């Protein structure tokens, strides 16, 4: 049975079709686009290190970085050359792992259904041997080393380690060199069999495509072994306190000047679905109103030479966590932190500027609409929200519905100075 969702504002449509085995398929037609883009994703990311499989009584605990390791290994197949199959059709294949999902994707301009069939096939066909698992370790070690020299990555994860005591969002997505060397073939299979199942996965396709042909191609590619588990997997998340772990974390790296992240921790993580989306939309709007390029705070910091053009904010969340990050480069990050703290106190007393809020809201609407130019944005964002129980088309509606009073309420709740961390990367020479 096929359903459709239409967005009047975006003038876009998404079709939804659920297969008998539980796999869900979404298709967004994009007329006149040359590129066709598909993602086959599983709701399984770096945070899912401890879980109970339906039918088992004991919890399984696996080394950090295993979801990402598995992502690398799925490109291995018995006859060899997953990359080669896509390359022969002229398409490019890729994958990524984040906190809560692993996604396999390709983009092509030709032979779309063949490509789709290869995508479906390789993700359903793990081929792991002790030897090929060992071989991957050197490659992933170099990936980890590459991130160790990336100050923006380091400052971000150090900030998370300051915010969280136990929550696995603080774990580096690729794990550590130490943890990946512990990973075994059996553990990889265990994770694969637990999370790469139809009712934990989704397919998203965007481009100038034929829906019936997509459903047919996918149905045909299903392996008998690809079956939903009899129940939901239980993901064990440790109880995370409302308090932060460290106020300030500093590390030295080869950089030209201090790089900072100021992070704020959500203390109320009980929301789901639309309510969860509302806090997301609200928090992003607040960040832009208070710290954006038209804010008086930005002007003050910029005019005093305390920040440069690399000054950005973001809000990241899932059902079990959420945090805002304000990041940049500064000669005097402690002073930036003080000024930001002062501004937050002021806004708590006086409220956000109403005119600024209305303008920033207008901006957010225009930019959200504009982002639908990109098939990559659509597919990646849709899946990311879908795994959080949110329909992406509701984003623009919640943006429009957002009002000044709820924004102020959210501001007071989220920007608690006792729940903030200053993470710093400073020059090591």
Residues 70-99 that bind other proteins (CB under 8 A): 83-84, 87-93
Q: How far is the CB of 153 from other proteins (least distance, A)?
A: 11
* Segment interacting with other proteins (CB under 8 A) among 39-47, 224-232, 288-296, 313-321: 288-296
Binding positions for other proteins, 334-373, rule CB under 8 A: 359-360, 362-367, 369-373
Shorter beta-carbon distance to other proteins: residue 59 or 146: 146
Q: Evaluate whether 343 touches 351 at the Cβ level (below 8 Å).
A: no
Under the binding rule (CB under 8 A), the answer on residue 280 touching other proteins is no
Residue 46 DSSP class: T
Phi, psi angle pair for 234, to nearest 5°: -100, 120
Binding positions for other proteins, 396-415, rule CB under 8 A: none
Q: How far is the CB of 310 from other proteins (least distance, A)?
A: 8
- Residue 209 class from Cβ within 10 Å (0-12 exposed, 13-18 middle, 19+ buried)? buried
Shorter beta-carbon distance to other proteins: residue 91 or 320: 91
Count Cα atoms within 13 angstroms, Cβ side, for 337: 21
- Helices assigned H by DSSP within 294-353: 296-303, 333-350
162's CB contacts (< 8 A; 6+ apart) are 244, 245, 246, 247, 248, 249, 263, 421, 422, 423
Structure-derived torsion over alpha carbons of residues 225, 230, 233, 234, reported in degrees to the nearest 10: -160
Under the binding rule (CB under 8 A), the answer on residue 250 touching other proteins is no
Helices 130-148 and 66-73: angle between axes, nearest 10 degrees: 120
Q: How far is the CB of 364 from other proteins (least distance, A)?
A: 7
Shorter beta-carbon distance to other proteins: residue 30 or 278: 30
* Segment interacting with other proteins (CB under 8 A) among 14-22, 163-171, 251-259, 316-324: 251-259
Q: How far is the CB of 109 from other proteins (least distance, A)?
A: 4
Choose among 272, 330, 274: nearest CA to 302: 330
Site string (26-45) toward other proteins, x via CB under 8 A: ----xxxxxx----------
Choose among 301, 291, 385: nearest CA to 98: 385
71 is catalytic: yes
Under the binding rule (CB under 8 A), the answer on residue 305 touching other proteins is yes
Site string (106-125) toward other proteins, x via CB under 8 A: -xxxx---------------
- Residue 267 class from Cβ within 10 Å (0-12 exposed, 13-18 middle, 19+ buried)? middle
Task: From the candidates 71, 187, 240, 329, give the one annotated as an active-site residue.
Answer: 71
Q: How far is the CB of 362 from other proteins (least distance, A)?
A: 6
Bridging pattern class, strands 234-235 and 50-52:
antiparallel
Q: How far is the CB of 164 from other proteins (least distance, A)?
A: 24
Q: How far is the CB of 20 from other proteins (least distance, A)?
A: 34
Residue 75 DSSP class: T
* Segment interacting with other proteins (CB under 8 A) among 39-47, 117-125, 185-193, 287-295: 287-295
SS3 115: helix
* Segment interacting with other proteins (CB under 8 A) among 13-21, 51-59, 103-111, 118-126: 103-111
Under the binding rule (CB under 8 A), the answer on residue 5 touching other proteins is no
151's CB contacts (< 8 A; 6+ apart) are 253, 255, 259, 425
* Segment interacting with other proteins (CB under 8 A) among 3-11, 15-23, 262-270, 314-322: 3-11
- Annotated catalytic residues are 71
């Amino acid at each position: 049975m096929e359903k459709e969702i239409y967005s009047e504002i975006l003038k876009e449509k998404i079709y939804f079709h659920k297969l008998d085995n539980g796999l869900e398929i979404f298709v967004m037609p994009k007329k006149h686009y040359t590129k066709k883009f598909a993602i086959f994703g599983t709701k399984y990311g770096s945070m899912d290190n401890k879980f109970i499989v339906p039918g088992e009584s004991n919890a399984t605990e696996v080394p950090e970085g295993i979801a990402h390791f598995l992502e690398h290994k799925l490109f291995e197949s018995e006859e060899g050359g997953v990359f080669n199959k896509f390359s022969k059709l002229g398409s490019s294949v890729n994958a990524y792992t984040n906190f809560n999902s692993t996604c396999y994707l390709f983009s092509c301009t030709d032979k779309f259904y063949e490509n789709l069939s290869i995508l479906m096939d390789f993700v359903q066909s793990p081929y792991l041997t002790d030897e090929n698992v060992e071989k991957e370790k050197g490659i992933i070690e170099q990936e980890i080393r590459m991130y160790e020299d990336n100050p923006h990555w380091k400052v971000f994860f150090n900030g998370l380690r300051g915010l969280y005591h136990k929550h696995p969002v603080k774990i580096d997505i690729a794990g550590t060199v130490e943890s990946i060397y512990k990973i075994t073939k059996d553990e990889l299979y265990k994770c694969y069999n637990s999370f790469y199942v139809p009712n934990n996965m989704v397919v998203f396709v965007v481009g100038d495509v034929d829906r019936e042909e997509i459903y047919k191609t996918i149905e045909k590619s299903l392996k008998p072994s690809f079956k939903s588990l009899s129940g939901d997997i239980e993901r064990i998340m440790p109880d995370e306190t409302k308090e932060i772990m460290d106020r300030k974390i500093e590390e030295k790296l080869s950089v030209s000047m201090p790089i900072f992240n100021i992070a704020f921790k959500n203390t109320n993580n009980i929301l789901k679905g639309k309510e969860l989306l509302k806090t997301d939309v609200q928090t992003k709007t607040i960040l832009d109103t208070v710290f954006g390029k038209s804010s008086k705070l930005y002007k003050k910091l910029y005019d005093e030479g305390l920040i440069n053009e690399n000054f950005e904010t973001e809000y990241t969340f899932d059902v079990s966590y959420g945090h805002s990050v304000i990041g940049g480069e500064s000669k005097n990050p402690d002073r930036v932190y003080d000024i930001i703290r002062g501004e937050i106190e002021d806004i708590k007393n006086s409220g956000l500027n109403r005119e600024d809020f209305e303008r920033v809201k207008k901006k957010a609407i225009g930019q959200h609409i504009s982002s639908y130019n990109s098939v990559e944005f659509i597919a990646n964002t849709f899946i990311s929200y879908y795994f959080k129980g949110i329909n992406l088309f509701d984003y623009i509606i919640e943006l429009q519905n957002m009002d000044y009073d709820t924004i102020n309420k959210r501001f007071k709740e989220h920007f608690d100075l006792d729940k903030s961390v200053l993470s710093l990367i400073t020059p090591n020479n």
